[in-house]
Amino acid sequence: MLLNEFFGKSIDINKELSKKRDDKGITDELFWYIIDHDKLHKDHFHDISDKIKKTKDHDKESLVRDFMPMVRKGCKEFYHHRKMPGKFEHIFTKDMAEDLCERLYDHYREDVVKGEYEADR
């Protein structure tokens, strides 16, 4: 007699875990893609860094939202660059974009406040 006769159909635990790992992997790749993308920084980041310098840490939520245009554009370019299958909206969710914005803010905030990023425009 088999155990699944007692307990029913077996489930694949690794399926859900691998999906979460894949999402984390895409998010990490996208994060570094945005950081290394010079044109995105030229178009978006310098204005954000100026705003971070002026406000310091008083309005984190607003500053995090300021990263959204940069993240959206980065997602679109990453999607086309990698020639990813599937619909854009299903791969790059709103939650993923918000997490990336917060992660970018956390990554850059301290260096911006120290004056590491001086805009050469």
> Looking at residues 96-101, what average pLDDT do you find?
93
Residue 52 pLDDT: 83
Residue 68: which residues within 8 A CB-CB, separation 6 or more?
Answer: 97, 98, 101
Q: For residue 76, tell me if it sits in a domain.
A: yes
Amino acid symbol at 37:
H
Number of domains, the chain: 1
Range of the domain at 94: 26-114
pTM: predicted TM-score of the whole model, two decimal places:
0.73
Contact by Cβ (8 Å): 74, 97: no
Q: How far, rounded to the nearest angstrom, does the alpha carbon of residue 92 sit from its chain's CA centroid?
A: 9
Q: How many residues does the chain have?
A: 121
Q: For residue 100, tell me if it sits in a domain.
A: yes
Residue 41 pLDDT: 85
Please work out, in degrees rounded to the nearest 5, the angle formed at the alpha carbon of residue 49 by the alpha carbons of 46 and 52.
155
Q: For residue 18, tell me if it sits in a domain.
A: no
Q: For residue 4, tell me if it sits in a domain.
A: no
Please say whether the dihedral angle defined by the alpha carbons of residues 34, 36, 38 and 44, taken in this order, is positive or negative.
positive
Confidence class of residue 53 from pLDDT cuts 50, 70 and 90?
confident
What is the distance between the alpha carbons of residues 104 and 35, in angstroms, rounded to a whole number? 8
What is the distance between the alpha carbons of residues 9 and 23, in angstroms, rounded to a whole number? 27
